[in-house]
């Protein structure tokens, strides 16, 4: 559930409320019964676990592809050397 912040226009106190998006906004201050105004605040967002960071993802994804490319390149060189004979007429 999102956390919303409201500031009272009378006493200037800030209060937080856990509300659903569909809930109606709060209108009355608990402390002085003044009018509340919804604030725009910075959100907190945490990504946890492996694979969320660019360095983690890139390292895992590239290591397998790089090894496969090296194997394919070396296999291609040996095939071209053994089958690629030139005739001089």
Whether 78 has a pLDDT exceeding 60, the answer reads: no
Which pLDDT score, from 0 to 100, does residue 67 have?
59
Q: What is the pLDDT of residues 27-47, one digit of tens each?
A: 999 999 999 999 987 777 777
Q: Which tokens go with 75?
A: 């296999």
- With contact defined as beta carbons under 8 Å apart, do 8 and 35 qualify? yes
Averaged pLDDT score across all residues of the chain: 74
Which pLDDT score, from 0 to 100, does residue 31 have?
92
- With contact defined as beta carbons under 8 Å apart, do 28 and 35 qualify? yes
Whether 83 has a pLDDT exceeding 80, the answer reads: no
Q: Which residues contact 15 (CB under 8 A, 6 or more apart)?
A: 5, 6, 7, 8, 26, 29, 30, 36
């Amino acid at each position: 559930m999102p956390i919303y912040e409201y500031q009272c226009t009378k006493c200037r106190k800030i209060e937080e409320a856990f509300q659903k998006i569909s809930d109606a906004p709060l209108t009355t201050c608990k402390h002085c019964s003044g009018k509340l105004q919804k604030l725009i605040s910075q959100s907190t967002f945490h990504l946890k676990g492996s694979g969320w960071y660019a360095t983690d993802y890139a390292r895992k994804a590239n290591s397998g592809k790089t090894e496969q490319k090296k194997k394919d390149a070396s296999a291609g060189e040996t095939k071209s050397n053994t089958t690629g004979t030139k005739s001089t007429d």
